[in-house]
Amino acid sequence: MKKLLFSVLFLFILFISCTQTPKPEITEQLKSALRSDAKTFMESLKSVLIKEIQTHGIVSAVSVCSDTAQLLTNNYGISKGIYIKRVSFKNRNPMNVPDEFESKVLKMFEEMYSKNQINPETEYVELIEEDGISKVRYMKPIFVQPECLNCHGTEEQISPQVKDVINKIYPDDKAKDYQMGDLRGALSIQKTL
């Protein structure tokens, strides 16, 4: 009888420990996976952009880039099981307006930028719960590099043809007048845990 009782108790404890999922936490492994997703995404986007500029010229790159960037964003996310996009307060594409969480982090990045406290290693990770689902949210700053000025620089830096195409596709464009090294926005990743 005692044996049976112990067996039942043992099975009960086993059952409880199996049904209780461990509380998600930000591990170094999770952070480095997100960091590598961010890096790969930014690199593939940049290589598509550079290749298009080199083969078909800057004007063609604008229209190709406007579709490709969104497509790549979707495809990349689906293949990795993550949601990935770029956001900015001074956005060109209306789809790239930051949400509440992204605005909070972008403001923090801007503050760090103004105090010279931002660097290529800067990133932000937070665990959130949305409708009972645990998610990790990751953000990484994006900076303006020399080749970006062709399309995000000052009046003089953007050619009239490029301006024409941009104005046609994005009548509410805010993503210009940037300078080398400026904080352009951020990459934003969400992953369900």
Binding site for ligand HEC (CB under 6 A): 46, 49, 58, 61-62, 65-66, 69-70, 86, 88, 91-93, 96, 142, 144-145, 147-148, 150-152, 175, 184-185
Amino acid at the residue 116: N
| 122 or 150: CB nearest ligand HEC | 150
**Residue 15 C-beta: closest distance to ligand HEC, Å:** 49
Q: Nearer to ligand HEC by C-beta: 26 or 144?
A: 144
Q: How far apart are CA 145 and CA 133, in angstroms?
A: 37
CA distance 101 to 97: 11
In terms of CB distance, is 104 or 174 closer to ligand HEC? 174
Q: How far is the CB of 193 from ligand HEC (least distance, A)?
A: 26
- Least spacing, CB of residue 20 vs ligand HEC, in Å: 41
Q: Which is nearer to ligand HEC, 134 or 170 (CB)?
A: 170
Tell me how far, at minimum, the Cβ of 181 lies from ligand HEC, in Å. 11
